[in-house]
Structure 1
Amino acid sequence: MKKNFSTIKNIIFDFGGVIIDIDPNAVVNNLKDNGFTDFQRLKEPEFVNILNQFEKGIIRAETFRKKVCSFLNMPLNKNKFDDIWNSMLYDIPERRINLIKNLKPNYHVYLMSNSNEIHYDMFVRDLQLRFGYREFDNLFDKSFFSFDLHLMKPDPDVFTYIFDHYDLKPEETLFIDDTPENILSAQKMGMLTYHLLRGSRVVNLFENGLLREDLDFDIIHEQK
């Protein structure tokens, strides 16, 4: 089915798994290397709640470290903790930085990430040292991080906030994410969506600063 992309004025990118590659299993492997063995604890509601509180910015990094170390019964110093926590993150590929720059003459480009201040500090350090940007707002038209907004995808309030504060229309906005729950939430808000499957590369969706017209439109959905 041929799709007219001329209606798309805004693109909102997810970060982890879209702009930057991640491997959450690396954290598990590093915990194992440091003597942790009770991996079922990582699935318990109390631990998940600690993670969500941190991603929403309800607790700060120092409190997060203390809560996690206490819950897992692992006395780790700050540097060791952060090394383990950040081990899931890879460097931002230069091709994806160039992609964002090439898209900006044709679209308003935004970033929306469920993230936390420890990861954010590492993201920004990489962005500064390797690409010369002081912050993500210097690369994107605007960046949104859950720990700043106190909201996490797939909560529809995330999208409502962006629409209301930056005068975006859902029907003119494409949302690219690698998590089905986030895609479904965006669709319910009336946005165009692209579910980036594991192993796919976001740069392959574009050509010469524009969305490719030969995309597999079965992956792109409009709210019915």
Structure 2
Amino acid sequence: MIDTIIFDFGDVFINLDKQASLTALKKLGLPSWNEDLEELNQQFERGKITEVQFMIGLKKLIPNASIDDLRAAWNSVLIDFPLHRLEFLELLKRKYRLFLLSNTDEIHISKFEHKVGATFAREFYQCFEKVYFSFEIGIRKPDPEAFKYIINKHDLSTKRTLFIDDKKENTDIAASLGMQVWNITPGKEDVVELFDRKILPR
């Protein structure tokens, strides 16, 4: 019997346009997503570099763009957070222990909080026993240590834990650790269908 659910954030709760940032950065002069940018992103998402260091690194790759334009391009991945998902979470928290585990950076989280407003963001965070962002804990999915960090810290039973993520490499690792998983398909499935799709019993 599942008693705990660990959720991803992007494309589970907040809708993303994963091509938007690359398209916007290309318009500013980036030839393509390259190894340097990938490394910069990975370091930023692990909290290994600061926001200032990240923006300096981005500016080196696209020297003719302004910092404001670079920030806007980086944040263009974030679309909207439908209210019905927050309402669903608020019902779910009455029955289950809920956690959030997201690969993200401080720029995106700051933008999310500004975009939805302080009240909405606070109500969202309060649905969870604990929120874990990769830039704060220094580990990214699909590193097994990201999952073990939560499991050990909260003494979770993996067989009683459901993990929901839109990336198969992440759900594969969670499954290998003994968790039940739902590899959600953005655009075709919605997290509020958790019971309708018989992933959890009503």
Same fold judged by TM-score > 0.5?
yes
Give the letter for the 2:48 counterpart: I
Q: Residue 117 of structure 2 aligns to a residue in which SS?
A: helix
Gaps of 5+ in 2: none
Distance 2:111 2:128 in 1: 18
**1:62 matched to 2:62:** no
Structure of greater Rg: 1
**AA at the equivalent of 1:77:** S
SS at match of 1:22: coil
TM-score (structure 2 length as normaliser)? 0.91
Matches of 2:121 and 2:169, distance apart in 1: 34
Q: How far off is 1:62 after superposition?
A: 0.7
- Aligned match of 1:79: 68
* Corresponding residue for residue 40 of structure 2: 50
Residue 93 of structure 1 is matched in structure 2 by 82
Secondary structure of residue in 2 paired with 1:162: helix
The one of 168, 172, 177 equivalent to 1:189 is 177
After TM superposition, the structure 1 stretch with the greater mean CA deviation from structure 2, 91-100 or 53-62, is 91-100
Give distance in 2, aligned partners of 1:49 and 1:24: 17
- How far 1:139 moved relative to its partner? 2.8
Do 2:12 and 2:184's aligned partners in 1 also have CA atoms closer than 8 Å? Answer: yes
Partners of 2:161 and 2:176 lie apart in 1 by: 13
**What residue is the counterpart of 1:128 in the other structure?**
117
Tell me the residue number matched to 1:38.
31
| TM-superposition CA deviations, 1:50-70 (whole Å, max 9, x none) | 110000000011100111221
Counterpart of 1:133 in 2: which secondary structure?
helix
Match of 1:117 among 106, 122, 128: 106
- The CA deviation at 1:138 is 2.1
1:92–1:126 contact (8 Å) kept in structure 2: no
In structure 2, how many angstroms separate the alpha carbons of the residues matched to 1:81 and 1:32?
11
1:145-224 superposed matches below 5 A: 145-199=133-187, 200-205=189-194, 211-212=195-196, 214-215=197-198
Q: Give, in whole Å, the separation in 1 of the partners of 2:106 and 2:38.
A: 17
Q: Give the Å deviation of 1:91.
A: 2.0
Shift of 1:176: 0.4
The answer on whether the counterparts of 1:127 and 1:133 sit within 8 Å (CA) in structure 2 is no
Q: 1:28 aligns with which of 8, 12, 22?
A: 22
Q: How far apart, in 1, do the equivalents of 2:30 and 2:135 lie?
A: 29
User: CA offsets, 1:96-123, max 9 Å, x none?
Assistant: 1111101011101111100000001112
What is the RMSD of the two structures over their aligned residues, measured on CA atoms? 1.9
Go from structure 1 to structure 2 and tell me whether the alpha carbon gap of 1:167 and 1:138 turns closer, same or farther (over 3 Å shift).
same
CA contact (8 A) 2:163 2:181 kept: yes
User: Which runs of 5 or more structure 1 residues have no equivalent in the other structure?
Assistant: 1-6, 206-210, 218-224
Aligned length: 199
**What is the deviation of 1:127?**
4.3
AA at the equivalent of 2:56 = K
Aligned partners of 1:126 and 1:104: how far apart in 2? Answer: 24
Task: Check if 1:19 corresponds to 2:13.
Answer: yes
